[in-house]
Chains A and B, each alone.
Chain A
């Protein structure tokens, strides 16, 4: 819990005087400056983003000089970016703008964010118990392939989902054995697991499907909501079942981790395993369970990739292409909390969706936009937006005395 969020209990007057408040406002204004120029507001005069951006920069400088330097400079950068992007948007044709920024952008954001949400929550459980899980990428890939395999051989996407989850959980079990029992270096182990997953899925993909899944494989259905009006219907009226499941997962994860005794114990294992041990908590069992759980959850994200609206029942070699790592980044960016991880995943999903939409301008822009999640994570890890605080015992093998 950062000092600033704690101060939310303080009287309003005190919060207003805290420079951090101004800093965050400035950050928001910077983003708003760009937002002004796109639909629905679609201000056409560059004066608007410039004006708002300048306010953001000013407040950022004020924040920086009042002691919150990193936050302040971050706001200044946000303001500059907002001006730049806003001006760019005002100079583009309204036709293109409206193609790029319509309600389906929201639909795509949620869709692209879904595997990230599963991955981030999965990683969160593992790391909260004290085990770093770099192997999320590999476990997601297992879910992607074996989801298709299960759905194909089993006849329904439900079977595919279960088999996919099981494959992710199994790989996680192997990883857990090496990381917890043998106390191997967790990052090396996670990297190994990723290699293994690419090899295993590639091998069986070749063997069973000869490189191409043909025929109709049962896919995960979308949830149709009608009668919402045009905007809502395009944005959330046609999301995949798994996307809605991911929302539920975020809420569930929050409750489990912060409102139940087991969640308290998990967090204790991640912060101070010896303290947990001395009050009779079995650190090993909890860590094993959390790692396997993380495998199960991230594999659902993988199943979404292949059996969901984007994959439509196909699999390609190394289908995840880094999404597992982005999910990890979302987890870090979200400070190991469900709500934060969810917000970060949405942000990354948004930038991904925007990248696709921006192809209406040029393919180049979309490629460059794809870089955004990674840059944001670098920024987060470097501690620009507050300090990210990992669970204290994250990554340190525990040996019972």
Chain B
């Protein structure tokens, strides 16, 4: 590793409607180094790298490659310049072989017209051997493991002579063992003179592999430090920060009976990887339990299991004392569990339906909305009108299609529907994602109000502020396990540490 700078990004600014993703960010990479880009969700890491890879244009700032200023109009330009990117969502074709995927677009040819499969396989096999990838050139991508698929993506970049490799949250899809294998490979690549940008939010990994670390927070560069001298604590402090944020005024909770209970829950995702590992907790009437954690640590699967959209491998879920066994979404709803889903446009609302119809989405089959299968739209509209007023939904009336509303108002409709069903327990998953401040404030106040009505509320959020603002108790989810349980006063730092897997105690 030398001091020569292969890449410089200075003063980068990028704005999207409503949010400044990168604010005067500077970042540079030396030849042959592994430079980690560290930050929480929303810190601006991916945006910065997408700019580098030519997918976005920066609003301001400049990029220099080996000293020369460059401007990329597309990914092809970036690839040509020697920049390779391994995205979180792989760009691989499952039914084709490894070799075919790697050479696609720059295929070796024989006899002028025919595809030289043998040459392709040989080149890929050689590459695999040089870098110790342990991937067979002739294997189908759909048959190989995720770790190997990632290596195929890396090979794609290397095949196009990348000398800067960007890896976006590469360990998000890997098992711990696969992550170790990846680090080995990165070290090998380093030795070959390839510079690596490693985007992550996981402290331990970053300290393991990086030579230098740049921390981003809320779109700004906080610091760039060499690995020597950096500790998990110092990095965590830089990542999480000490900003004091908006808090909702709330009276202390009066907790009652246990209304939602989870015992030793294990849930796997579609690929069979255990995402929730032995989680147990309870939520009482009149309290808000917040589950904090970085995205990808099992929150989605936990919620899916609780709401009946996914079967748990083992464990017990009880709502209002009643055990839910292999339940469907319908059963869970009937048992008294309400759910404000993460992805309101895909799961929560039928955008083409009117507000009245969306509000009736669970209960349309029962009186007063319908009887013997006959719908009474008038009653739907009546109920919707009441709820629209109560929840201060703006942008339309009961007959307006849900798609015409702003995100905040859509979320209010979802909340209105769930809360009006008088559930015993309410799960709020990312309830304020993508909303403006006013809507956030309203929903927060509403959630607290429902708590005071005696409901048990489980809040799952990636926003620490939200967790702190609303929760009476905080649980921290890391890699599928509850690693921290806090009641009463706890510092943001402490939670932040636990969220990234740090076992140390933060200073009091």
Contacts and interface: CB of A to CB of B under 8 A. Distances in A.
Interface of A: 1, 255, 259-261, 263-265, 267-268, 271-272, 274-276, 278-281, 389, 392, 401
B95 A279 contact: no
A267 B96 contact: yes
Interface in B196-210: none
Contact of B91 (A255, A265, A275, A392): A275
Contacts of B321: none
B96 to A, nearest CB: 7
A281 B95 contact: no
A281 B105 contact: yes
Contacts of B117: 259
B464 interface: no
A351 to B, nearest CB: 31
Contacts of A392: 94-95
Interface in B178-197: none
A278 B78 CA distance: 11
A280 B113 contact: no
B109 A261 contact: yes
B108 to A, nearest CB: 8
A264 B107 contact: yes
A280 B93 contact: no
Interface in B77-115: 79, 91-96, 100-101, 104-107, 109, 113-115
Q: Which of A274, A276, A280 counts the most B-chain CB atoms under 10 A from its CB?
A: A280
Contacts of A274: 91
Interface in B113-170: 113-115, 117, 140, 156
B76 interface: yes
Contacts of A275: 91-93, 101, 104
Given A265-B104, A279-B104, A272 B115 contact: no
Given A261-B109, A271-B96, A280-B105, 18 more contacts: A255-B114, A259-B115, A264-B96, A264-B100, A265-B105, A267-B96, A271-B94, A272-B91, A272-B94, A274-B91, A275-B93, A275-B104, A278-B75, A279-B79, A279-B91, A279-B104, A281-B104, A392-B95
A280 B79 contact: yes
A401 B100 CA distance: 24
A184 B95 CA distance: 27
The list of the 8 closest CB pairs from A to B, nearest first, reads: A279-B105, A261-B107, A275-B91, A271-B93, A272-B93, A280-B76, A261-B115, A280-B105
A255 to B, nearest CB: 8
Contact of B92 (A260, A261, A272, A401): A272
Interface of B: 55, 75-76, 79, 91-96, 100-101, 104-107, 109, 113-115, 117, 140, 156
B113 A260 contact: yes
Nearest to B100: A264
Contact of A276 (B95, B104, B113): B104
Nearest to A261: B107
A263 B115 contact: yes
A134 to B, nearest CB: 23
Contacts of B140: 1
Q: Which of B93, B114, B140 counts the most A-chain CB atoms under 10 A from its CB?
A: B93
B82 to A, nearest CB: 15
12 contacts: A1-B95, A1-B140, A255-B114, A259-B114, A260-B114, A261-B115, A272-B91, A275-B92, A275-B104, A279-B79, A279-B105, A280-B76
A349 to B, nearest CB: 29
Nearest to B92: A275
Contacts of B105: 265, 276, 279-281
A83 B79 CA distance: 63
B473 to A, nearest CB: 42
A259 B113 CA distance: 9
A268 B95 contact: no
B113 A271 contact: no
A401 B56 CA distance: 10
A279 B152 CA distance: 14
Contacts of A264: 96, 100, 104, 107, 115
A160 B151 CA distance: 54
Q: Which of A259, A274, A281 counts the most B-chain CB atoms under 10 A from its CB?
A: A259
A153 B113 CA distance: 38
Contacts of B115: 259-261, 263-264
A260 B111 CA distance: 10
B101 to A, nearest CB: 8
B152 to A, nearest CB: 11
Given A259-B114, A264-B100, A265-B104, A279 B156 contact: yes
B274 to A, nearest CB: 26
Contacts of A263: 115
A392 B95 CA distance: 9
Contacts of B156: 279
A389 B91 CA distance: 20
Q: Which of A259, A260, A264, A268 counts the most B-chain CB atoms under 10 A from its CB?
A: A264
A383 B100 CA distance: 28
Contacts of B76: 280
Q: Which of B91, B92, B106, B140 counts the most A-chain CB atoms under 10 A from its CB?
A: B91
